[in-house]
Chains A and B, each alone.
Chain A
Amino acid sequence: MNVMTVPLAHYIALSAVIFFIGVAGVVTRRNPLIMLMSIELMFNAANLLFAAFARAWLNNAGHIFVFLVITVAAAEAAIGLAIVVTVFRSAHTVDVDDVALLKG
């Protein structure tokens, strides 16, 4: 129970790989829904790291942090999807590059 069977570095590496897959998704895709899902991937990578460190240090604070991050992710997804729906209603497109009103 006290010793982790998997070294902590493995979790850090996995979390980094998933985080950067999410970064690549946000940077390359222009579909706002897939961009939002990539952001969720990044949230999850951070959550995995919190849980792994909490397990390594046997400290509850990491779990509380994951709880907070999940709350923020839920709020972010709801508001982001509301923005997507609003944009689609007014502009009839969901391509991020077409929504460039503030670009000047």
Chain B
Amino acid sequence: MIAFWILAVAMIVSAIWCVTASRPIYSVVALLGNFLMLAIMYLTLNAEFLAVIQMIVYSGAILILFLFVIALLSSGIAPFSVGPDRLPRIAYPAIALTLIALGFLTWALVRTTVATPAATANGAALGPVGTPDVFGSVGDFGTALFTTYLLPFEITALILMVAVIGVVLLAGDRAPYVATKKRAADVKREMREAILREGNQ
């Protein structure tokens, strides 16, 4: 319980720091702290594998990607910083609306009682694989991922492939290939000329 409160306060503080930082690099540092706290919180929730991939994928891969982009963009002519009050007129209404939405959510949360299953009281697992003793362990997670949830796992591969293709197409070395009728005609003409050249030789 004490650990939860320490982690919760640290997470909220680092999230606010991330949003209000004047430079993106400070934001990255704050977000890194937030992700580490979240990984510890996953550990307290018996989600060991999630804690590990939170550290590897989020802190290791995504934040490094952010750092690379910041370094790439700020290495040029313009220093790369946009102040926190870039839109001062909209900031206060936006924060007010956010607080109102949060208030509504809190109100709804206070009014309703969160349903927890009765079956967990006597230790019986409701999930297809999970059992109380091994719940959240890497073996448990892997068994569920490769048996019951095999199709979502394979869809994951498709999502990552689409992302890779999209990134290469967007930020690749050459300009994006845009198919037009003119370009199709050019290609057809070049092919015909190549065939004629082959025939001449």
User: Do B135 and A58 have beta carbons less than 8 Å apart?
Assistant: yes
Contact of A63 among B70, B102, B136, B164 (CB under 8 A): B136
Whether, in the assembled complex, B120 has its beta carbon less than 8 Å from a beta carbon of chain A, the answer is: yes
Docked CA distance A41–B13 (Å)? 12
Number of interface residues of A (CB under 8 A): 72
User: Do A85 and B69 have beta carbons less than 8 Å apart?
Assistant: yes
Identify which of residues 58-98 in chain A touch chain B, using a CB-to-CB cut-off of 8 Å: 58-61, 63-64, 66-68, 70-79, 81-86, 88, 92-95, 97
User: Do A58 and B15 have beta carbons less than 8 Å apart?
Assistant: no
User: Do B114 and A9 have beta carbons less than 8 Å apart?
Assistant: yes
Least CB separation from B35: chain A residue: A44
User: Do A86 and B61 have beta carbons less than 8 Å apart?
Assistant: no
Docked CA distance A30–B126 (Å)? 45
User: Do B15 and A41 have beta carbons less than 8 Å apart?
Assistant: yes
User: Do B132 and A58 have beta carbons less than 8 Å apart?
Assistant: yes
Identify which of residues 156-170 in chain B touch chain A, using a CB-to-CB cut-off of 8 Å: 156, 159-160, 162-164, 166-167, 170
User: Do B69 and A29 have beta carbons less than 8 Å apart?
Assistant: no
A6-B4, A60-B130 are known contacts. Are A13 and B109 too (CB-CB below 8 A)? Answer: yes
User: Do B171 and A16 have beta carbons less than 8 Å apart?
Assistant: no
Number of interface residues of B (CB under 8 A): 94
A64-B149, A74-B160 are known contacts. Are A94 and B12 too (CB-CB below 8 A)? Answer: no
Contact of B54 among A70, A81, A93 (CB under 8 A): A70
Stretch of B140-148, B178-186, B190-198 contacting A (4+ beta carbons < 8 Å): B140-148
User: Do A83 and B170 have beta carbons less than 8 Å apart?
Assistant: yes
A13-B106, A58-B126, A81-B69 are known contacts. Are A34 and B140 too (CB-CB below 8 A)? Answer: no
User: Do B94 and A60 have beta carbons less than 8 Å apart?
Assistant: no
Contact of A1 among B15, B86, B99, B132 (CB under 8 A): B132
User: Do B11 and A40 have beta carbons less than 8 Å apart?
Assistant: no
A10-B4, A37-B18 are known contacts. Are A70 and B170 too (CB-CB below 8 A)? Answer: no
Residues of B near A18 (CB, < 8 A) are 11-12, 15
The 5 closest A-B pairs by CB, nearest first: A75-B163, A59-B127, A25-B19, A82-B171, A82-B170
Not counting A16-B109, A29-B19, A82-B167, a sample of 8 additional A-B residue pairs whose C-beta atoms are within 8 angstroms of each other reads A2-B123, A5-B1, A24-B95, A60-B148, A68-B156, A74-B163, A77-B62, A94-B82
Interface positions of B (Cβ within 8 A of A): 1, 4, 8, 11-12, 15-16, 18-19, 21, 24, 27-28, 31, 34-35, 38, 41-42, 44-47, 49-50, 53-54, 57-58, 61-62, 65-66, 69-70, 72-73, 77-78, 80-82, 84, 86-87, 90-91, 94-95, 97-99, 101-102, 105-106, 109, 114, 116-117, 120-123, 125-133, 135-136, 140-141, 144-145, 148-149, 152-153, 155-156, 159-160, 162-164, 166-167, 170-171
